[in-house]
Structure 1
Amino acid sequence: MAYKIVFFDIDGTLVNENKEVPSDTVEAVRALKANGVEPVIATGRAPYFIKPLADQLGIESFVCMNGAYAVYRGKPVYKRVIPKESIEALVNLAAGHGHSLVFEGEHAYCSDRAEHPFVTESVLSLKVELPGHDPEFWKANDIFQMFLHCEGHEEHLYQGLVPELKLIRWHPKAMDVLPAGGSKAQGIEAMLERLGITPSEAVAFGDGLNDKEMLEFVGLGIAMGNSHQELLPYADYVTGHVDEGGIRNGLAKAGLIA
């Protein structure tokens, strides 16, 4: 199969635990571009979190906020907004449990609390700026994704109570909140349709629970050696650790670089 496009998760895939891109990954992405294959970032992060990385790797296109917002070479190709009534239901539920929410818009993101230790710990782990404070931010802006800050033993407090929403844990103190059925695969599908590329002509790399649908959807799904164990059944191939040539080896396995 002659693959035409490759989607890369960020955390644990393009960057390691120190949020650094290994030098062999930089070289591998450059070689991929030189061979005429399009690299695209596919991440749970918002677009305002990824510009330095995209610039470093020379990547112009991305699928962000777990598939809710996709841009191809500067032009939006897909937007999926969370309905206000679903947000309001979660706001009321989280308030009752004393849990903080962060609302992610197209150009900015804000927390419902000025200071919350779970927000600080989880967001700073991404090595990005902390959100602004505006409990009403969701009312005046389109929201594509939210963070719900609670611990694993508290997840049952939300199960089935807002059926229009989907929760995916990404940090011991935080979960992504997206529309039910939402995933990176939706944004990828929209981008591929716009480009006239079939899923079988695409490759994807990931390591986390939010990468399941993406790896299943494309022609070749590659899990990193450092992946969450629950991701592995969804992959066609398991490559090396992010710090041990995982991206380079995976692209070579796909026949995309030497």
Structure 2
Amino acid sequence: MNTSNIKGVVFFDLDGTLLNDKSKIEPEVAEATEKLKKNNILPVICTGRSPHEIIHTQEMTNIDTVITLNGSLVKNNSEIIYQRIIPTDLCKNVIEMADSFEEAVAMYNNQTIRRTNLDTNAIIQTHKFIAEPIPEVDSTFYQDNDINMMVIYSIDKENEYNVKFSSSLKFYKTGTFSIDCVMKEESKKNGIINLLKNLNLTNVPTYAFGDGPNDIEMLNYVDHSVVMGNARKDIFQYGEYITTKNTNHGIVNGLKHYNLI
């Protein structure tokens, strides 16, 4: 998409937002993203998922620009335009703490995902919910590979990790059984800032659709924020507009509200 003609940018969270309750793209959503492009509005996937987890979604929606791993990896037409790496020693320390709680950890980068060797109910339930296979085991993967994000498969230890690593890392409770971990400065908001700067789109109107805690900074940053009707009740306060549920035409209704399609 030719960025010189862009009249606006719309950022979409995936789970609970652009995707339905079975982690699939509805035909009407695919049609809506195509209409956005025809109207010179740039659609952008903005997610905690990794690039290789969203390939099918990109194909279904024809979206080429993505902010992944909670802002730690930004790509436009397959080109990495921004990324942040978690230092090896921090990866090691997080994994050691997770081991002490008997919790598994997954390590993400642009190419793949690997995990520590604990088989827990939390890891099974998390990947069942997002309809993705459980990652292969390689507990030392972080030693020889760049890591943009980690996921700790934990039910109730978010506070303990935040206290331990408050000076360097940020933790998002993104699911019943999972906590996303990125460098402290990273967020979907920071990913958006880097994307707009790199594509010279800092002067066009921005919109965002989201439903969860890791969407808050994004919703607060853009010009117009849309919260899904299925969001947690405490997220509603961050929406300029509350649309219907993701399973009840929420994306289409939100885009129509702002006359984007």
Which residue of the other structure, out of 246, 252, 258, is the alignment partner of 2:256?
252
Deviation at 1:22, TM superposition (A): 2.3
Distance 1:209 1:156 in 2: 15
* Percent of aligned positions that are identical: 29
Query: Gapped runs of 5+ residues in structure 1?
Result: none
Q: 1:237 to 1:200 in 2, by over 3 A?
A: farther
Which residue of the other structure, out of 92, 104, 114, is the alignment partner of 1:100?
104
Summarize deviations over 1:192-243 as a string: whole Å, max 9, x none: 0012112761111111111001111111111111112222222211111111
Which residue of the other structure, out of 202, 217, 229, is the alignment partner of 2:221?
217
Q: Paired residue for 1:28?
A: 32
Query: More deviation in 66-75 or 200-209?
Result: 200-209
Alignment partner of 1:76 is 2:96: no
- Aligned residue identity for 2:117: R
Query: More deviation in 24-33 or 102-111?
Result: 24-33
Distance 2:230 2:243 in 1: 9
TM-score (ref. length: structure 2): 0.93
Deviation at 1:72, TM superposition (A): 1.0
Alignment partner of 1:162 is 2:165: yes
Deviation at 1:170, TM superposition (A): 1.6
Helix, strand or coil at the partner of 1:160: helix
Q: 1:220 to 1:3 in 2, by over 3 A?
A: farther
TM-score (ref. length: structure 1): 0.94
Helix, strand or coil at the partner of 1:158: helix
Distance 2:12 2:200 in 1: 19
Distance 2:158 2:13 in 1: 25
Distance 2:255 2:162 in 1: 38
Distance 1:160 1:105 in 2: 25
Alignment partner of 1:173 is 2:177: yes
Helix, strand or coil at the partner of 1:31: helix
Distance 2:209 2:203 in 1: 14
Distance 2:58 2:164 in 1: 37
- Aligned residue identity for 1:238: I
Deviation at 1:114, TM superposition (A): 5.6
Q: 1:159 to 1:76 in 2, by over 3 A?
A: closer
Helix, strand or coil at the partner of 1:88: helix
Helix, strand or coil at the partner of 1:243: coil
State whether residues 21 and 247 of structure 2, in contact with CA within 8 Å, keep that contact through their aligned partners in structure 1.
no
Helix, strand or coil at the partner of 2:185: coil
- Aligned residue identity for 1:14: L
Summarize deviations over 1:98-137 as a string: whole Å, max 9, x none: 1111111220111111633221221222111220100100
Count of aligned residue pairs for this structure pair: 255
Q: How does 1:49-128 map to 2 (within 5 A)?
A: 49-113=53-117, 115-128=119-132
Coordinate RMSD, CA, aligned: 1.6
State whether residues 35 and 256 of structure 1, in contact with CA within 8 Å, keep that contact through their aligned partners in structure 2.
yes
State whether residues 200 and 218 of structure 1, in contact with CA within 8 Å, keep that contact through their aligned partners in structure 2.
no
- Aligned residue identity for 1:53: T
Query: More deviation in 109-118 or 140-149?
Result: 109-118
Helix, strand or coil at the partner of 2:163: coil
Q: Paired residue for 1:189?
A: 193
